[in-house]
Amino acid sequence: MRIGHGYDVHKLENGRKLILGGVDIPYEKGLLGHSDADVLVHAVMDALLGAAGLGDIGKAFPDTDPAYEGISSLRLLDMVMDLLRQAGLRVSNVDATILAQRPRLSPYIQRMRENLAMHMDISAGRINVKATTEEGLGFTGAREGMAAHAVCLLEEL
């Protein structure tokens, strides 16, 4: 068994869609990044890659590569899953936390879990997604950006 931890952060900006866990969430701002900037999926991918000893998403999908510009993070997750299968690994479970002052995310969490599960080929019951505010503290509390942490457990096939 292998354990991995992932963390990601993106700045909020006008004129961008807010995509979290592959869900398009209505909000006045979206996350800035080279891809769709899905901070949740990025943290999950970093956890998976780290547990497998395969580096991180910056190594796997550099933001200097135009091939990844605007790409869906769920598509990148599919590529990470291919790497895990090649390494003889599968996902046992994932636990993730999104840090965001606004918008309220609870209505979207089940769809996020289902999206992640579908792309990782596991049941949604093996994925937990939580959202929390930071009580107005720090950059997430000031609504300047969002962050996410993820922990995963991988098993050998």
- Structure confidence at residue 14 (pLDDT): 97
Consult the annotation and say whether 97 binds a ligand: no
Consult the annotation and say whether 38 binds a ligand: no
Residue pLDDT tens, the chain, 157 long? 999 999 999 999 999 999 999 999 999 999 999 999 999 999 999 999 999 999 999 999 999 999 999 999 999 999 999 999 999 999 999 999 999 999 999 999 999 999 999 999 999 999 999 999 999 999 999 999 999 999 999 999 9
Consult the annotation and say whether 149 binds a ligand: no
Any idea of the CA torsion for 25, 29, 34, 39, to the nearest 10 degrees? -50
Consult the annotation and say whether 35 binds a ligand: yes
| Contact criterion met (CB below 8 Å) for 45 and 57 | yes
Consult the annotation and say whether 57 binds a ligand: yes
- Structure confidence at residue 48 (pLDDT): 98
**Short-list 142, 105, 109, 97, CA closest to 7:** 97
d(CA 91, CA 78): 13
Task: Report how far Cα 69 is from the mean position of its chain's Cα atoms.
Answer: 17
Distances (CA, A) of 155 to 12, 23, 67, 89, 129: 35, 28, 31, 6, 20
Contacts 24+ apart (CB under 8 A), 78-81: 78/119, 80/45, 80/48, 80/49, 81/48, 81/119, 81/120, 81/121
Composition of the chain by helix, strand, coil, percent to 5: 35, 30, 35
Consult the annotation and say whether 133 binds a ligand: yes
Consult the annotation and say whether 139 binds a ligand: yes
- Which helix (H) or strand (E) covers residue 60, if one does? helix 57-60
- Structure confidence at residue 142 (pLDDT): 96
Consult the annotation and say whether 56 binds a ligand: yes
d(CA 106, CA 126): 18
